[in-house]
Chains A and B, each alone.
Chain A
Amino acid sequence: MTDLGDLYQQTILDHNRNPRNFRRLEHATRSAEGHNPNCGDRIKVFVQLDGDTISDIGFQMPDGAGCAISKASASLMTTAVKGKPVAEAETLFQAFRDMLSGGAIAPGKLAAFGGVRAFPARVKCANLAWHALHAALQNESDPVTTESARDF
């Protein structure tokens, strides 16, 4: 039996309670919205690109609160990709996605989300922000939903 502590690790509870980069970027060069129709959670990710580098990043949850998993994941994501080249952010996205679909544990603090694998109903929550980031980096204008990406 998987313990609840594996899902709600201290890192996740901390980022849920005190989300980092939880703000709208007024001069964002890219932004994209993610939507999980199952629970109604919506997230908007703002990215400022400086050449090929993510010089700043922020996120908002337009309907107010998101669940702890989606909010903490978004927060941790922003800290993981801030200052990184786009290609590296995409590599982290891939690593995160692989981890949630049963692959190797992702690097650094992203490993805190390894416990989500034992809670299949919550995988979409953890992935939501990353898909929005990916869409922003790809400059996709339509909102992404957790139903339009096969591996959510």
Chain B
Amino acid sequence: MLDTNIRADFPILARKEHGHRLVYLDNAATTQKPRQVLDAILNYYSTSNANVHRGAYGLAVAATEAYEAARAAVGRFANAWATEAVVFTRGTTEAINLVAGSWGRANVKAGDTVVVTAMDHHSNLVPWQILCAEKGATVRMVEITPDGRIDLLDFGRALEARPRLVAFPYVSNSLGTVNPAAELTRLAHAAGAVVVVDGAQATAHLRVDVQALGCDFYALSGHKMLGPMGSGALIAKPALLEAMPPYHGGGEMIERVWDDHSTWNMIPHKFEGGTPNVEGAVGLAAAIAYLERIGMEQIAEHEQALARVAIERLSQIEGVTVYGPKDHRAGVVPFTYGDIHPHDLATILDREGVCIRAGHHCTQPLMRRLGVAATARASFYIYNGVDDVDALVAAVRKAGEVFGVVTA
């Protein structure tokens, strides 16, 4: 496991919550930021701020270099096909909406099928619903197995419809399931579909290699990997990006503009209309440097070890149910405790300094299949240790005391 000395890099972890040490276990929602990322943003504004790609002066060149260096860093980190395969976005949600609004609008026709899974986050479901409603196409949702994996038999059946596009999460934010993304991609390609992988929950937690996955589109969020909010990227095969129409019109994305029409800039700039979030890109690059210094394999191992301990210790409490598969899972631990509503659980844990998420986790179709309105979810990251699991378990036991003994 990683050394908890790492906490010294995260100023927010010095915060006291109701007199307790802050035990932050909502990392699947967003991660905290190390001083190195905060310093990079401050340094950018202190030394290099100007608008990018247009100034004819040294400062603007410095800003452009910082922005483009960040793009190269994202590309290297995920082993993108090329640097220009990386389009900066506000995050995963915008990246997927970009694919739906550009590739989808140009390629999905009436009668077509778009395949998603029952464990997709709303951000990898609702854009496809909107697209399909507009086009007269159909959303086909693939079922999950009782232990929280994508049902491969149903996935195969869904592919028989020869869908135009298949979308799935690399790692489930609600269950922690690590999906066999390369295998799913291979099957979807064999059925003639284009593949979109929601990498929001995976990119910070395991080594991502988009070329090895073989997918066509990969979406990620910076804020879930130590970077700033509002940073993120779509990584796509360059040939697809070349053929796609623009998404947002505006400055920067054009080549020449006439009275009644325009021509488009090269990729990736064609998809980056308007002044971009340069501080976000610079902060994301600093986050990537921080993660690479630790090593993605070490991070994955650390989280999985913590999740194992948490699952084991929570399961010892009578009335606790832990959801998701036994193995092939990331550091996400969803659970319920008897008839205590997860919202009440989260309030009681908060008073002990323990931050967890309670609710449907933006996966309402999944909650229906689990037969619950909501779950509590603890999710771990690099700065968490076994002492945080201890705090979690003690606080859950306290909730049991407040509500009296509860069994389902």
- Give me the interface of A with B, judged by CB distance under 8 Å: 1, 4, 7-8, 13, 17, 38-41, 63-69, 71, 119, 121-122, 125
In the complex, which residue of chain A has the Cβ closest to the Cβ of B343? A67
User: By the criterion CB–CB under 8 Å, are A69 and B339 in contact?
Assistant: no
User: By the criterion CB–CB under 8 Å, are A40 and B364 in contact?
Assistant: yes
Q: Can you give 24 contacting A-B residue pairs, CB < 8 Å?
A: A1-B18, A1-B19, A4-B351, A4-B402, A8-B402, A13-B402, A38-B359, A39-B342, A39-B359, A40-B360, A40-B373, A40-B374, A63-B373, A64-B372, A64-B373, A65-B341, A65-B373, A67-B343, A67-B344, A69-B343, A69-B344, A71-B341, A121-B347, A122-B343
A17 contacts across to B, CB distance below 8 A: 404
B257 to chain A, nearest CB (A): 40
A4, A13, A41: the one within 8 Å of B404 (CB): A13
- Give me the interface of B with A, judged by CB distance under 8 Å: 18-19, 339-344, 347-348, 351, 358-360, 364, 367, 372-374, 402-404
B173 to chain A, nearest CB (A): 16
Q: Which 7 A-B pairs have the closest CB atoms?
A: A67-B341, A67-B343, A63-B373, A68-B344, A40-B360, A39-B359, A39-B343
Other than A8-B403, A39-B358, give 10 A-B pairs with Cβ distance below 8 A: A4-B348, A4-B351, A39-B343, A39-B359, A39-B374, A40-B359, A40-B360, A40-B374, A68-B341, A125-B343
A100 to chain B, nearest CB (A): 15
In the complex, which residue of chain B has the Cβ closest to the Cβ of A4? B351
Question: Contacts A40-B364, A40-B374, A119-B347 given: A65-B404 contact, CB under 8 Å?
Answer: no
B139 to chain A, nearest CB (A): 21
User: By the criterion CB–CB under 8 Å, are B339 and A65 in contact?
Assistant: yes
CA distance A13 to B400 in the complex (A): 12
B74 to chain A, nearest CB (A): 32
B360 contacts across to A, CB distance below 8 A: 39-40
B178 to chain A, nearest CB (A): 26
CA distance A41 to B360 in the complex (A): 10
Question: Contacts A4-B348, A39-B359, A63-B373 given: A68-B364 contact, CB under 8 Å?
Answer: no
A66 contacts across to B, CB distance below 8 A: 341, 373
B22 to chain A, nearest CB (A): 15
B18 contacts across to A, CB distance below 8 A: 1
